[in-house]
A and B are shown apart, each in its own frame.
Chain A
């Protein structure tokens, strides 16, 4: 598959024409993988990968005792096939995620991304779980690498329905009770909340050795609204109406949303969280690449 053709399958507008989410995930991931440069660090096999010095918290069962006998230092022997991890996808299904100004709504984009991530994790035999939330937790699928987990996840993503408001505390409370091993947590949301509140809610996960990626999904019209005149805007989550002008949307609003994004990015990084801004008119590979990079760093 050529790179151009592969990129085409990462275009969200093209994906919107595919009805089955498993096909979407497969198309995205295969397109993404076909576009990667071949690298010895990336692959899926049971080959020896590396020895790594034992660090507190590692599973002592993974210590290579032969090496310890020879060197009296504990090393962990790592194989490609054994470098699996746990992936937990948190999908925001609040009302604001249904906003759309183009071919793809934010929520659809988020579902494509989530399905592609779980499909990619499935290929790497990572145990994968899912939490769909808005102001309540709508669906929880415990992380697992067992057969059939992929389809359960895809069904869970496909069946997710838009709720009302966003509340990050509830899903993260449930997540802390679910996660028994360290892994990667992916939060896909539009983050219309105070960055300090978001980071303060998510930060505890990082303390437990989890890698957290914040996928910030925004519609282009949310970054630069195209108001040609005065308009009465209705908040999709709160129902509040506000009358605004085209002049404000052209000058002040972009500055405010940019400040919000930058604040969230800086606070996330300060807390050790990865942050990725995704526009719904951009291909999905940026999200996948970020996950892949992070996973490689963890191995």
Chain B
């Protein structure tokens, strides 16, 4: 016997209350008038003794009531061996279809093993086929039809995703709890060590028996292009640089030919010596990239048994630097001096500054600019503000710097927030370097932000940098599909000495890349990565995804509603997002799968033993199980009984205490 919530037993201490009431508390009785007490004698001792004797019944009931109540909450249980009809058995045939199963004939061997399990099933036994990669997919419902099971096994194809044994274990635990059946799981896999999670995630359910079927040999050498580092945008062919890493697992030292392809044309090639079980890096410099999007690939030759990871796709775009519209007021074009100098001093920013007076906005096509900078605009004309807001809602980006003009206007244009109060000359304090617009930016040491108004942060936006007194310094907001940054200082040096500091350049470049959307493009993504298609659900503009096979991957409904799309296959995806931006995404198989070293047998044994490693004693089809059997209902019944008895006795005693003469 035990208690599921033993800490509730502490409530038994409450029995001290009735004991105090009955035994320690001085008994007080209401005097009853009598004509004369001259014939009475004091009988206090005997009467009190009599009182205690009689009240002990009530005391016992009250103590029992409290003890039983505490017991009920402590949830007592006894281990009860029940002879019940055994759970019905469900055979689960789980087949690993991750990228590593492409090695040699591993997947075919796994399917053969699964078919053998199906063939060995007794006639009426239920079975279900699951396919495993980073997710678990049920290929069938629980079936007795072996042909349906075999068909499901035949339909399993290898994917480019990594396998997750933790995901399989979680799914089996859920089935253990919900099906009410005994699970006999046959898992067919190459048992990669890299797919094993922590042991806490490998715990199986109590009615689950795991049988592991390993396919493939233990020594399986594999070389792979592990990574490619390339710029997603190329603005100058002379400065093009690509770095790639070639890795071997369980391999000896070899010489491999590494070739760079661009749009399936070999651009450059090198011989690389790869050490045993090691890595080698090589660079391709100053290769020519024509204008536009291009499908790049790094391949090693000759191929090994797992040829799919011998190439690594990447996407690259050659374009001219994008224009940034810098809007100044009052005819002072020199306001753009510091900002323009910062952009031009950095290499390969992909941005050029185009200063224009703010009055010209109405005649400009804003969609041609990567983003717009408003330097201390003051009160903006409603027509200009309307045009800028429309640009923002369609996916544009605006950087607003607050100076004395805007401070006097008392309101941040476009953002709509009021400028409240005024901060003293302060330094920047909280700077979150993890934010994409501030990535890699050190503290703004020694930068003085002069007296200026404080921007009130609206509920749907956030301050990503603050001054020492807590006033927001940089506020990020979303407006429709667009991005807006509000900087509580001007960019011309009138509100701070920031432009005179070295940290001004990375600040301008990082915020510029963020606003221009450069941060969202990477040369290659791992299979299984989700890419955003739109920023708000109410954006009705259709998005489009063309997969590696050249087919449109989105249905009409998904094209107008899907927020993101998961890139599953190795290859290139042409994506048009809801904000009309186009990009080419290169997807590579998860390189964790390239490490084919199997998990040690000891680890697999431990995994098996987390389940029902000791089958229940069976006798003539009857299964005996020991289970905790909760007694709280009985305790509550006794509580009710004690409460009724206590009421009866208490009522009786109270009645007796009324004057009887």
> A residues near B, CB below 8 A?
96-97, 99, 101, 106, 190, 192, 219, 221-222, 225-238, 240-245, 247-249, 252-253, 256-257, 260
* Alpha-carbon separation in the docked complex, A230 to B41 (Å): 12
Closest 5 interchain pairs by CB?
A230-B47, A99-B35, A96-B35, A192-B36, A234-B31
Q: Are B37 and A229 in contact (CB under 8 A)?
A: no
**In the complex, B32 has a CB within 8 A of chain A:** yes
Q: Are A243 and B34 in contact (CB under 8 A)?
A: no
Task: Beyond A232-B31, A243-B42, list 13 extra A-B contacts (CB 8 Å).
Answer: A96-B36, A226-B661, A230-B48, A232-B29, A233-B33, A233-B37, A235-B36, A235-B38, A237-B35, A243-B43, A243-B44, A244-B40, A248-B40
Residues of B within 8 A of A97 (CB): 35
* Alpha-carbon separation in the docked complex, A253 to B37 (Å): 10
- Nearest to B655 among chain A residues (CB) is A228
**In the complex, B39 has a CB within 8 A of chain A:** yes
**In the complex, B614 has a CB within 8 A of chain A:** no
Q: Are B35 and A228 in contact (CB under 8 A)?
A: no
A233 vs chain B, min Cβ distance (A): 4
Q: Are A192 and B35 in contact (CB under 8 A)?
A: yes
Most chain B C-beta atoms within 10 Å of own C-beta, residue among A192, A225, A241, A244: A244
Partner among B30, B39, B42, B50 whose Cβ is within 8 Å of the Cβ of A229: B50
Q: Is the interface of A mostly helix, strand, loop or mixed?
A: mixed
Contact string against A for B residues 33-65, beta-carbon threshold 8 Å, 1 for contact and 0 otherwise: 111111111111011101100100000000000
**In the complex, B365 has a CB within 8 A of chain A:** no
**In the complex, B85 has a CB within 8 A of chain A:** no
User: Given A229-B656, A230-B48, A230-B51, are A244 and B32 neighbors across the interface (CB < 8 Å)?
Assistant: no
> B residues near A, CB below 8 A?
29-44, 46-48, 50-51, 54, 656-657, 660-661
Q: Is the interface of B mostly helix, strand, loop or mixed?
A: loop
Residues of A within 8 A of B51 (CB): 229-230
Q: Are A242 and B48 in contact (CB under 8 A)?
A: no
* Alpha-carbon separation in the docked complex, A219 to B36 (Å): 12
Q: Are B660 and A227 in contact (CB under 8 A)?
A: yes
* Alpha-carbon separation in the docked complex, A222 to B33 (Å): 12
Q: Are B47 and A236 in contact (CB under 8 A)?
A: no
Q: Are A225 and B661 in contact (CB under 8 A)?
A: yes
Residues of B within 8 A of A256 (CB): 39
Q: Are A244 and B43 in contact (CB under 8 A)?
A: yes
What are 18 sample pairs from A and B whose C-beta atoms fall under 8 A apart? A97-B35, A99-B35, A190-B35, A192-B36, A192-B38, A227-B660, A229-B656, A232-B29, A233-B31, A235-B38, A237-B36, A243-B29, A243-B42, A243-B44, A245-B43, A247-B43, A247-B46, A249-B40
* Alpha-carbon separation in the docked complex, A244 to B51 (Å): 12
Residues of A within 8 A of B29 (CB): 230-232, 243
User: Given A243-B42, A253-B39, A256-B39, are A232 and B50 neighbors across the interface (CB < 8 Å)?
Assistant: no
* Alpha-carbon separation in the docked complex, A242 to B33 (Å): 10
Residues of B within 8 A of A222 (CB): 35
A4 vs chain B, min Cβ distance (A): 32
Residues of B within 8 A of A190 (CB): 35-36
